[in-house]
Amino acid sequence: MTDILQIVGAILVLAGFFASQIGAVDARSLAYLIVNALGSGVLAVLALLGREWGFLLLEGVWCLVALASLLGVLGRARRQRPHLLRAQRPPSSAD
Protein backbone atom coordinates (compact mmCIF):
# COMPACT_ATOMS: atom_id res chain seq x y z
CA MET A 1 0.00 0.00 0.00
CA THR A 2 2.88 2.37 0.79
CA ASP A 3 4.28 1.87 -2.71
CA ILE A 4 0.94 2.81 -4.26
CA LEU A 5 0.73 5.97 -2.13
CA GLN A 6 4.29 6.91 -3.11
CA ILE A 7 3.42 6.54 -6.78
CA VAL A 8 0.20 8.55 -6.39
CA GLY A 9 2.04 11.34 -4.54
CA ALA A 10 4.80 11.43 -7.13
CA ILE A 11 2.32 11.45 -10.02
CA LEU A 12 0.47 14.40 -8.49
CA VAL A 13 3.66 16.45 -8.10
CA LEU A 14 4.96 15.49 -11.53
CA ALA A 15 1.60 16.13 -13.23
CA GLY A 16 1.52 19.66 -11.86
CA PHE A 17 5.12 20.25 -12.89
CA PHE A 18 4.56 18.84 -16.38
CA ALA A 19 1.36 20.86 -16.88
CA SER A 20 3.21 24.00 -15.79
CA GLN A 21 6.13 23.32 -18.12
CA ILE A 22 3.94 22.88 -21.20
CA GLY A 23 1.94 25.99 -20.33
CA ALA A 24 -1.31 24.19 -19.51
CA VAL A 25 -1.47 25.70 -16.00
CA ASP A 26 0.15 28.65 -14.28
CA ALA A 27 2.41 27.85 -11.33
CA ARG A 28 0.25 30.19 -9.21
CA SER A 29 -3.05 28.58 -10.20
CA LEU A 30 -5.28 26.72 -7.76
CA ALA A 31 -4.96 23.50 -9.76
CA TYR A 32 -1.16 23.56 -9.69
CA LEU A 33 -0.95 24.44 -6.01
CA ILE A 34 -3.53 21.86 -4.95
CA VAL A 35 -1.86 18.94 -6.75
CA ASN A 36 1.53 20.02 -5.41
CA ALA A 37 0.28 20.34 -1.84
CA LEU A 38 -1.52 16.98 -1.98
CA GLY A 39 1.29 15.10 -3.69
CA SER A 40 4.09 16.48 -1.56
CA GLY A 41 1.96 16.11 1.59
CA VAL A 42 1.44 12.41 0.91
CA LEU A 43 5.14 11.94 0.22
CA ALA A 44 6.12 13.90 3.35
CA VAL A 45 3.92 11.71 5.57
CA LEU A 46 5.38 8.57 4.02
CA ALA A 47 8.91 9.92 4.51
CA LEU A 48 8.15 10.62 8.16
CA LEU A 49 6.78 7.12 8.69
CA GLY A 50 9.82 5.65 6.95
CA ARG A 51 12.23 7.90 8.88
CA GLU A 52 13.67 9.21 5.63
CA TRP A 53 14.79 12.60 6.93
CA GLY A 54 16.22 14.10 3.76
CA PHE A 55 13.13 13.17 1.81
CA LEU A 56 10.93 14.49 4.63
CA LEU A 57 12.78 17.82 4.51
CA LEU A 58 12.33 18.07 0.74
CA GLU A 59 8.68 17.08 0.60
CA GLY A 60 7.71 18.79 3.85
CA VAL A 61 9.09 22.14 2.69
CA TRP A 62 7.57 21.61 -0.77
CA CYS A 63 4.17 21.01 0.85
CA LEU A 64 4.46 24.02 3.18
CA VAL A 65 5.41 26.35 0.33
CA ALA A 66 2.52 25.04 -1.80
CA LEU A 67 0.10 25.49 1.11
CA ALA A 68 1.35 29.02 1.86
CA SER A 69 0.99 29.95 -1.81
CA LEU A 70 -2.46 28.38 -1.92
CA LEU A 71 -3.57 30.42 1.09
CA GLY A 72 -2.22 33.55 -0.57
CA VAL A 73 -4.15 32.85 -3.77
CA LEU A 74 -7.34 32.15 -1.83
CA GLY A 75 -6.86 35.28 0.26
CA ARG A 76 -6.44 37.44 -2.84
CA ALA A 77 -9.50 35.83 -4.43
CA ARG A 78 -11.55 36.49 -1.31
CA ARG A 79 -10.55 40.16 -1.31
CA GLN A 80 -11.19 40.60 -5.03
CA ARG A 81 -14.34 38.49 -5.42
CA PRO A 82 -15.81 37.68 -2.01
CA HIS A 83 -19.14 36.64 -3.53
CA LEU A 84 -17.50 33.72 -5.38
CA LEU A 85 -16.09 32.12 -2.24
CA ARG A 86 -19.19 32.45 -0.06
CA ALA A 87 -21.46 29.48 0.34
CA GLN A 88 -24.68 30.08 -1.50
CA ARG A 89 -27.75 29.82 0.68
CA PRO A 90 -30.96 28.55 -0.84
CA PRO A 91 -33.68 31.20 -0.99
CA SER A 92 -35.91 31.23 2.06
CA SER A 93 -39.66 31.02 1.89
CA ALA A 94 -39.82 34.63 3.12
CA ASP A 95 -38.14 35.88 -0.10
| Full pLDDT tens readout for the chain, 95 residues | 889 999 999 999 999 999 999 999 999 999 999 999 999 999 999 999 999 999 999 999 999 999 999 999 998 888 887 665 565 566 666 55
Q: Among 54, 76, 53, 72, which Cα is nearest to 64's?
A: 72
Instruction: Tell me the C-alpha distance between 64 and 46, whole Å.
Output: 16
- CA torsion 8-38-66-51 (nearest 10°) is -70
pLDDT at 39: 97
Cα distance between residue 11 and residue 21, in whole Å? 15
pTM > 0.85: no
Task: Quote the pLDDT of residue 92.
Answer: 62
